[in-house]
Structure 1
Amino acid sequence: MSSSGVIAELHRNSSNWGKVVDEIVKLERKIFPKHESLARSFDDEMRKKNSGLLYVEVDGEVVAYVMYSWPSSLYASITKLAVKENCRRLGHGEALLKAAIQKCRTRNVHRITLHVDPLRTPAMNLYKKYGFQVDNLIEGYYSSDRNAYRMFLDFDAD
């Protein structure tokens, strides 16, 4: 990871909540098609009880983030992982994925799930590197002509 990148966690009562949310919404709009973007509902998503967000700041600017949630005590989901285009391949996504997995593990969940476009090879490779396995192909997940793999990572029950 770039030495200037720092992972931070966004807390609901953070003094920088508005600034960070605004920057993430801008990233959402640039990276994701309108129907996949959480830009309009982002603030609501983050105010849900069982959700978390980690982000990387470089020179005071948010360049990457990961959202995750734990709807039950059994599993968690990584709902978004995004890196600003000119900051990719610097390790930010990998660092965030590792941190999100660790955060989910502290909840003692048995499984983490996520969805990924099979055509996003770098993302697929990253998830596989950390032990995620393809569970299912979901046709039309993103749009009528874009599918998704549902992937999962299981933890051994202690």
Structure 2
Amino acid sequence: MGFAVALGWIATWTLAQIAFDPINVTSATFTGPSANTLMFFLEPAPRLRFDIGLVPGVVLGAFLAALFAGELKWQGYDGADAMRRSLFGAGLMGFGGMLAGGCAIGSLTGASVFATTAWLALLCMWIGAALTDFLVDQRGQRGLPVAV
């Protein structure tokens, strides 16, 4: 991921040097491009940009990598509880990502330029992961009721 972040900075800086119109120097994130990809299909005259191809490109790339490695398989949930926890966590991550203006990769991108909000977001993600591990995984292994 670190290489992708660095490559994003270099690629957009290079484009900004040769473009006639001003271009923001940015790097890889998924929260904004996910929203932009959705809006691409809703706009009457959409413009094709890098972030529009990022999300479908990652999905297609992961599919092809798994296919060529012989690791492509169907996976599912181990019951309703696991699905409920995953959907709840996905909702919280989406909400937090939109509030923070980026996701985990956006935090790495922000951290690479020492943005205070990115470091705060990373700290909160680590705390949330440790708390979830304690409340869900550790309690479940000890036979205690799982909180969620």
Instruction: Report TM bin, short chain.
Output: under 0.3
Between structure 1 and structure 2, the one with the greater Rg is 2
Higher-helix-fraction structure:
2
Give the TM-score normalised by the residue count of structure 1: 0.26
Give the TM-score normalised by the residue count of structure 2: 0.27
Of structures 1 and 2, the one with the larger relative CO (CA 8 A, separation 6+) is 2
Higher-strand-fraction structure:
1
